[in-house]
Amino acid sequence: MPEDPKMLQAAAALSQILLVDAEPVDVLRRICDITVSCLDACDMASVSLYEGKGRVDTVVSTHDKISHLDRVQYDTRQGPCIAAATDMTGDRRHAVYEVPDTATETRWPDFARAAHAAGVGSIAAFALGVGTGSIGALNLYALEPHAFGDEDLRAAAVFAAHAAVVLANAAALGRARAEVAQLHEALDTRDVIGRAKGILMEREGVTDDQAFEILKRLSQHLNIKLREVAREIVERPTRRGGRQLDTSGA
């Protein structure tokens, strides 16, 4: 099949998303915008994320109308988007779940009626999967019935495969950022506790273990986290009433 210039443009646009400068939701929103702008048959788009245990949620969409229709699918447990996001059978990398005409659709009758009433004529949902795992689905909505031809579906499937990789990388980067933040917090906590123990050892004439026990007892007595007690001692702030943190009775 000849390369579709529109999909080449879409793939190029995906490659320009700088994950280091974008939040995951911004990446999802960009994917939706690229889909609508580069695929002529698509009037609206959304991304559904699979949250495990059969739960799916729409994180971004280009129109409120389709956010509502996605919710109808989740509530009724039927529809192409939820099928694409949760179907773990077969080769998910090129799976497409299509509703050519919402007026005649019989597989998902409740959803089809809602979509037809909302003025949506046809839908195509593509599984977003990397390896054997499920990320969610890219959902394409058109106002006209039979809007998506074979060329459209093949091109969109390729785009969805690229989008899945971008999403997986964005998720991995998000996890890495969270782990780095936790590491920094742990190192900061260890440092401030160590400094507080040193102050107590000098001030109270106690050992390292005894200083730590004082910190623990203060934390329990004041009902605040141990690192906050340590920070108060290190920074020597005054408590309510203008008194310094009293460690003599701990």
pLDDT at 58: 86
Q: How far are the Cα atoms of 108, 156, 161, 246 from residue 51, in angstroms, in the given order? A: 22, 23, 19, 48
pLDDT at 122: 96
Question: DSSP letters along 77-135, please?
Answer: T-SHHHHHHH--SS-GGG-EEEES-TTT--SSHHHHHHHHHTT--EEEEEEEEETTEEE
pTM, rounded to two decimals: 0.63
Mean pLDDT of successive 10-residue segments in the chain (250 residues)?
Answer: 56 56 72 84 90 79 90 90 77 75 94 94 88 78 94 82 72 61 75 87 86 87 85 66 48
pLDDT at 165: 75
Spatial contact of 145 and 103, defined as CB atoms under 8 Å apart = yes
pLDDT at 124: 95
In sequence order, the 6+-apart residues with CB closer than 8 A to the CB of 206 are 200, 214
Domain boundaries, the chain: 5-176, 177-235
pLDDT at 133: 64
pLDDT at 144: 96
List b or e across 31-52, with b for residues whose CB sees 16 or more CB atoms inside 10 angstroms: bbebbbebbebbbbbbbbbbee
pLDDT at 235: 83
CA dist 45 and 31 (Å) reads: 9
The CATH code that applies to domain 177-235 is 1.10.10.10
The CATH code that applies to domain 5-176 is 3.30.450.40
